[in-house]
């Protein structure tokens, strides 16, 4: 049962204007057409109606989503709005872009369809995000220029950063200062990296050393609590964890969902369905089916044996791992399946960053308590 809300990760293209070393996606296939989008949205809304869900979040990703034109998105937004209005469904759209293809022509679409907000990605230091035939420095120059132009237009930019061994060596202070002071980014999130997709030398250090990563994240949390929290800076996952420990409505990262298979799916340009973009663009053996080849999304998801492996994962972890003894099981639920699979080759294993997560949860709980007393130092 999906509850009152459903999320869709939608990849209208797998084309990309970057050439990142550690990318997990296989870039192939044609873009999604407007007619295909109409069919897809109709089936998604049928599925939601059968499950009495009235709110839909669409997370537009790629490839690189800005390889599609602003004009295509204007038509897509109209298609979705008309279909959702006819079913009395509330839709919110979110966009994740590398910002390489951004120009001022995107501003009206970003304002009208995406609430004047774009999610992007940048690492500190950037060693792996590159332009085709270019360097990481070339990528940085274009990204910084375009992000500043977007900020000048009033667009909010949130950033996901992937740490590597050099990030940990340089330390949390340098990363925090880079984003908040040099780039004027006041909303960023640290994600744990994993060696998904084709093998590459850039992924040989994954998963990162747990002890060093844990120290880095706890230092980052302390810096943010002291210097950023009261100034409105958001640093994930700590910002939402603070809300969680306060008993507020928190939106925790997808890696800590009770069961991600209950809450969202991902669909690529060819209509292939998988658990998320990590699976749909890298591991065809884990596809649930194809939405363009099936009349009913509900039947496809109900009957697919691969999806049942995802649905059964929490129960298996309870039986084979030490998760039931963990104080933070209600937050973590065993962590991310793709991080487990890319590390151990086994979907039914806990996240390799388990020990780091435990410390992060404890740190956030302590910070939440001291913020409530207003005596953090």
Give the global pTM. 0.95
Structure tokens, 271: 């209509």
Structure tokens, 334: 């065993």
Predicted pLDDT at 338: 96
Nearest to 94 by CA among 8, 183, 197, 210: 8
Structure tokens, 206: 């994954």
Predicted pLDDT at 254: 93
Q: What is the band of 97 on the pLDDT scale with cuts at 50, 70, 90?
A: very high
Looking at per-residue confidence, does 154 or 3 come out higher? 154
Predicted pLDDT at 102: 98
What 3 state SS string does the chain have? CCCCEEEEEECCCCCCCCCCCCCCCCCCCCCCCHHHHHHHHHHHHHHHHHCCCCEEEEEECCCCHHHCCHHHHHHHHHHHHHHHHHHCCEEEEEEECCCCCCCHHHHHHHHHHCCCEEEEECCCCCCCCCCCCCCHHHHHHHHHHHHHHHHHCCCEEEEEECCCHHHHHHCHHHHHHHHHHHCCCCEEEECCCCCCCCCCHHHCCCCCCHHHHHHHHHHHHHHHHHHCHHHCCEEECHHHHHHHHCCCCCCCCHHHCCCHHHCEEEECCCCEEECCHHHHCCCHHHCCEEHHHCCCHHHHHHHCHHHHHHHCHHHHHHHHCCHHHCCCHHHHCCCCHHHHHHHHCCCCCCCCCHHHHHHHHHHHHHHHHHHHHCCCC
Place of tokens 């930019």: 157
CA–CA distance, 325 with 334 (Å, rounded to integer) = 12
**Count of C-beta atoms within a 10 Å radius of residue 298:** 16
Place of tokens 């640093």: 235
pLDDT in tens, 162-209: 999 999 999 999 999 999 999 999 999 999 999 988 888 888 899 999
Burial class of residue 255, CB neighbours in 10 A (0-12, 13-18, 19+): buried
Pairing of strands 264-267, 234-236: unpaired
Predicted pLDDT at 377: 54
Q: Point out the least confidently predicted range of 14-28, 66-80, 141-155, 342-356.
A: 14-28
Q: Mean pLDDT throughout 340-368?
A: 96
Predicted pLDDT at 197: 85
Predicted pLDDT at 1: 46
- Given CA atoms 338, 341, 346, 350 in this order, what sign does their dihedral have? negative
Place of tokens 């939402």: 240
Place of tokens 């998801």: 301
pLDDT in tens, 246-279: 999 899 999 999 888 888 999 999 999 999 999 9
Residue pair 86/49 in contact (Cβ under 8 Å)? The answer is no
Q: Mean pLDDT throughout 225-250?
A: 95
Residue pair 354/323 in contact (Cβ under 8 Å)? The answer is no
């Amino acid at each position: 049962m999906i509850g009152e809300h459903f999320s869709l990760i939608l990849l209208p293209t797998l084309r990309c204007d970057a050439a990142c070393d550690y990318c997990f996606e296989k870039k192939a296939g044609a873009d999604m057409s407007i007619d295909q989008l109409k069919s897809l949205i109709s089936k998604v809304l049928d599925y939601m109606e059968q499950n009495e869900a009235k709110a839909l979040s669409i997370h537009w990703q790629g490839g690189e989503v800005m390889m599609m034109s602003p004009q295509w998105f204007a038509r897509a937004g109209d298609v979705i709005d008309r279909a959702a209005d006819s079913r009395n469904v509330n839709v919110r759209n979110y966009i994740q872009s590398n910002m390489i293809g951004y120009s001022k022509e995107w501003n009206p679409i970003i304002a009208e369809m995406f609430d004047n907000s774009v999610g992007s990605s940048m690492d500190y230091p950037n060693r792996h995000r590159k332009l085709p035939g270019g360097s990481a420095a070339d990528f940085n120059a274009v990204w910084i220029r375009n992000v500043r132009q977007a900020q000048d237009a009033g667009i909010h930019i949130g950033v996901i950063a992937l740490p590597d061994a050099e990030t940990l060596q340089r330390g949390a202070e340098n990363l925090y200062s880079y984003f908040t002071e040099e780039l004027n980014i006041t909303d960023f999130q640290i994600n744990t990296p994993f060696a998904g997709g084709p093998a590459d030398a850039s992924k040989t250090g994954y998963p990162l050393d747990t002890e060093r990563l844990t120290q880095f994240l706890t230092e980052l949390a302390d810096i943010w609590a002291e210097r950023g929290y009261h100034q409105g800076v958001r640093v994930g996952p700590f910002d939402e964890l603070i809300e969680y420990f306060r008993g507020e409505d928190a939106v925790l990262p997808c890696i800590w969902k009770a069961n991600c298979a209950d809450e969202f799916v991902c669909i690529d340009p060819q209509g292939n369905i998988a658990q998320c973009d990590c699976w749909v663009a890298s591991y065809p053996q884990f596809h649930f089916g194809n939405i363009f080849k099936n009349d009913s999304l509900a039947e496809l998801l109900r009957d697919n044996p691969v999806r049942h492996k995802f649905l059964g994962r929490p129960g298996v972890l309870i039986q084979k791992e030490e998760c039931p003894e963990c104080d933070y099981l209600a937050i973590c639920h065993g962590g991310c399946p793709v991080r487990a699979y890319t590390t151990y080759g086994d979907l039914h294993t806990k996240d390799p960053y388990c020990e780091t997560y435990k410390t992060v949860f404890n740190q956030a709980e302590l910070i939440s308590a001291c913020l409530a007393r207003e005596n953090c130092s």
